């Protein structure tokens, strides 16, 4: 036997170490025994692989580090200074104060989620949200599910299983985090019939593809890319007119769920839900947490007779929305109905923030950094698969920290330092020679944390130069 194994302490010996005994006050004995056993097993494997034996101190340190990890939740708030308003990796839309309060109330105790308070009998969770969605979109009926990917899957499964759905080749694409129309189509059991070419599709292409097996015509909003140059695509008006001639519903995957006119903020036009409904699509699908500015959800509005078929499908139960997000979504939608969306919904406050206000905040941030930073002109992005190629002018704080030190780029070190900010990690955008911070995507109430972190960075400037 390898003599190194003899250096391994017993479980009891490690458990009786002073620092472990202190931990025993806050953690169950069984958990500590388990962690000690796992530590000793790792030591055995390491020795067997030819490594030296760790000291008792090192073993204790490793065990306490694991307990510290258990105490600090892995998922934590961060400050989004990237300037990408709907950043999928950073959790998409922050919610309004009222939506947060409604979600809080929904989890505190019980609720009338599926209970009719008048009759005292069972009800549907959809009644809390369907009238608001119908009022807002002009649709006859509405259904809310887990997210937009499951909304589209439910729609295709319930209406087009073992049948054909016609989609433009330029729209049979991958959107954002691996949502691929061809894959969703296959999963639903519907056959994808692609028409046209990547850059050009005409209404006659759709018409020629219609067969007795066709169940629907589909439009997918190409929300995260643009085809420019020699292009032609079919308008939603043309598609609905064709569908009406052949008694086929149009399924409209809008992606973002926009109810406000983006062009009034200098952005490219984003298709609006109420417009699709007014034109007469069969069903429109959209997310709750993109431009809508609410919690994760998949929203379907459209013709009652189609919505009823989705409602009855067994998949509807598998993708149903939970009570917390239902509560937050209802309040978010009410902001639109009350005409207060621009004031209350953070995503829209960020989009409509005056440039002078952003510039003022950027100057305050830059002052905290002294000569490490400058305020520069830049662009904020909408992100989250909305408004490709459309940006908002902004003001950025560019931290160069004096640039390169002996040819070594210090920008990644500055970015890491802000990501490790103890109070709340701050995420910026890295360009070649500067770390860029955009106040537009930072909630104003987070400014004090940013300022404190930037002052600290300024104090420690010499360690970066
Ligand atoms: C984002 C997006 C989806 C997926 O929506 P999730 O809510 O993320 O599931 C589907 N279709 C389009 C066009 C999108 O932009």
- Average pLDDT value for the chain: 92
- Ligand 1 centroid–CA 99 distance in Å is 22
pLDDT of residue 110: 95
Residue 12 lies in a domain: yes
Residue 91 lies in a domain: no
pLDDT of residue 177: 62
**b/e burial code for range 272-281 (CB count within 10 A of at least 16 → b):** bbebbbebbb
Which atom in ligand 1 lies closest to the alpha carbon of residue 298? 7
Of 276, 309, 344, which residue sits at a domain end?
A: 344
Query: Is 1 a residue whose pLDDT tops 60?
Result: no
Domain identity same for 25 and 41: yes
CATH number at 394 reads 3.90.1150.110
| Lowest mean pLDDT across 23-37, 50-64, 164-178, 307-321 | 164-178
Domain identity same for 251 and 140: yes
Domain identity same for 367 and 336: no
Residue 10 lies in a domain: yes
Domain identity same for 353 and 303: no
221 Cβ closer than 6 Å to some ligand 1 atom? yes
Domain residue limits at 116: 97-344
CA angle 172–178–180, rounded 5-degree value: 20
Residues in Cβ contact with 95 at an 8 Å cutoff, skipping those fewer than 6 apart: 103, 293, 294, 295, 328, 332, 346
Query: Is 378 a residue whose pLDDT tops 70?
Result: yes
- Ligand 1 centroid–CA 255 distance in Å is 5
336 Cβ closer than 6 Å to some ligand 1 atom? no
Residue 172 lies in a domain: yes
Domain identity same for 181 and 296: yes
Question: Which residue's CA is minimally distant from atom 6 of ligand 1?
Answer: 148
Grade residue 405 by pLDDT with cuts at 50, 70 and 90.
low
Question: Which residue's CA is minimally distant from atom 14 of ligand 1?
Answer: 255
pLDDT > 70: percent of the chain? 94
Domain identity same for 51 and 126: no
Residue 57 lies in a domain: yes
Higher pLDDT, 372 or 387: 372
Which atom in ligand 1 lies closest to the alpha carbon of residue 152? 10
What is the number of domains present in the chain?
3
User: Rounded distance, CA 73 to CA 70, Å?
Assistant: 7
Query: Is 354 a residue whose pLDDT tops 80?
Result: yes
Domain identity same for 316 and 286: yes
Domain identity same for 288 and 421: no
pTM, 2 dp:
0.91
Residue 235 lies in a domain: yes
Residue range 363-371: average pLDDT?
93
- Neighbour-count burial of 345, counting CB atoms closer than 10 A to its CB (0-12 exposed, 13-18 middle, 19+ buried): buried
Grade residue 421 by pLDDT with cuts at 50, 70 and 90.
very high
pLDDT of residue 383: 85
CATH number at 267 reads 3.40.640.10
Of 324, 344, 364, which residue sits at a domain end?
A: 344
Residue range 234-243: average pLDDT?
96
Domain identity same for 308 and 177: yes
pLDDT of residue 225: 61
Which atom in ligand 1 lies closest to the alpha carbon of residue 224? 15
Cβ atoms 273, 259 nearer than 8 A: yes
87 Cβ closer than 6 Å to some ligand 1 atom? no
- Neighbour-count burial of 112, counting CB atoms closer than 10 A to its CB (0-12 exposed, 13-18 middle, 19+ buried): exposed
In this predicted model, what pLDDT tens digit does every residue of 53-100 receive, in sequence order?
A: 899 999 999 999 888 888 888 899 999 999 999 998 999 999 999 999
Domain identity same for 112 and 27: no
pLDDT of residue 113: 97
Cβ atoms 92, 385 nearer than 8 A: no
In this predicted model, what pLDDT tens digit does every residue of 258-294 receive, in sequence order?
A: 999 999 999 988 999 999 999 999 999 999 999 999 9
Residue range 329-335: average pLDDT?
98
Domain identity same for 163 and 248: yes
Domain identity same for 337 and 403: no
- Mutating to test ligand 1, I would choose from 89, 146, 149 the residue with most ligand atoms within 8 A of its C-beta, which is 149
Of 300, 316, 344, which residue sits at a domain end?
A: 344
pLDDT of residue 184: 92
Residue 103 lies in a domain: yes
Grade residue 222 by pLDDT with cuts at 50, 70 and 90.
confident
Query: Is 23 a residue whose pLDDT tops 90?
Result: no
Residue 155 lies in a domain: yes
Cβ atoms 330, 295 nearer than 8 A: no
In this predicted model, what pLDDT tens digit does every residue of 423-440 receive, in sequence order?
A: 999 999 998 789 999 999
Residues in Cβ contact with 424 at an 8 Å cutoff, skipping those fewer than 6 apart: 76, 77, 78, 79, 446, 449
pLDDT of residue 459: 86
220 Cβ closer than 6 Å to some ligand 1 atom? yes
Residue range 29-55: average pLDDT?
92
Query: Is 226 a residue whose pLDDT tops 70?
Result: no
């Amino acid at each position: 036997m390898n003599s190194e194994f003899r250096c391994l302490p017993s479980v009891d010996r490690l458990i009786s170490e002073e620092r472990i005994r202190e931990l025993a006050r806050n953690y169950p004995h069984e958990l500590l025994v388990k962690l000690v056993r796992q530590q000793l097993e790792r030591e055995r494997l390491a020795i067997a692989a030819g490594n030296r034996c760790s000291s008792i101190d090192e073993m204790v340190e490793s065990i306490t580090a694991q307990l510290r990890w258990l105490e600090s939740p892995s998922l934590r708030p961060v400050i989004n200074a990237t300037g990408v308003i709907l950043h999928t990796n950073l959790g998409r839309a922050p919610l309004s104060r009222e939506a947060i309060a409604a979600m809080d109330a929904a989890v505190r105790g019980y609720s009338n989620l599926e209970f009719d308070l008048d009759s005292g009998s069972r009800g549907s969770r959809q009644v809390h949200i369907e009238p608001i969605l119908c009022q807002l979109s002009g649709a006859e009926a509405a259904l809310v599910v887990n997210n937009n990917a499951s909304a589209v899957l439910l729609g295709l499964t319930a209406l087009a299983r073992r049948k054909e759905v016609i989609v433009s080749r330029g729209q049979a694409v991958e959107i954002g985090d691996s949502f691929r129309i061809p894959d969703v189509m296959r999963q639903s059991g519907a056959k994808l019939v692609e028409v046209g070419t990547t850059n050009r599709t005409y209404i006659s292409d759709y018409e020629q593809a219609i067969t007795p097996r066709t169940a629907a015509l589909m439009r997918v909003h190409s929300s995260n890319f643009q085809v420019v140059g020699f292009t032609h695509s079919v308008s939603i008006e043309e598609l609905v007119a064709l569908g009406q001639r052949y008694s086929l519903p149009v399924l409209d995957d809008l992606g973002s769920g926009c109810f406000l006119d983006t062009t009034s903020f200098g952005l490219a036009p984003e298709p609006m839900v109420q417009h699709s409904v007014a034109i007469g699509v069969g069903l429109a699908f959209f997310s709750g947490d993109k431009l809508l500015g609410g919690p994760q959800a998949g929203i379907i509005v459209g013709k009652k007779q189609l919505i009823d078929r989705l409602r009855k499908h067994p998949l509807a139960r598998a993708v149903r929305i939970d009570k917390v997000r239902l509560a937050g979504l209802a309040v978010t939608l009410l902001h639109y109905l009350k005409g207060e969306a621009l004031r209350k919904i953070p995503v829209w406050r960020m989009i409509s923030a005056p440039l002078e206000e952003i510039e003022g905040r950027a100057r305050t941030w830059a002052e905290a950094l002294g000569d490490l930073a400058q305020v520069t002109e830049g662009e904020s992005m909408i992100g989250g698969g909305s408004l490709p190629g459309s940006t908002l002018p902004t003001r950025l704080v560019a931290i160069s920290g004096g640039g390169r030190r002996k040819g070594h780029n210090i920008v990644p070190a500055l970015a890491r330092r802000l990501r490790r900010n103890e109070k709340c990690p701050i995420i910026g955008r890295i360009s070649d020679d500067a770390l860029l911070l955009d106040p537009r995507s930072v909630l104003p109430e987070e400014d004090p944390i940013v300022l404190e972190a930037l002052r600290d960075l300024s104090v420690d400037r010499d360690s970066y130069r």
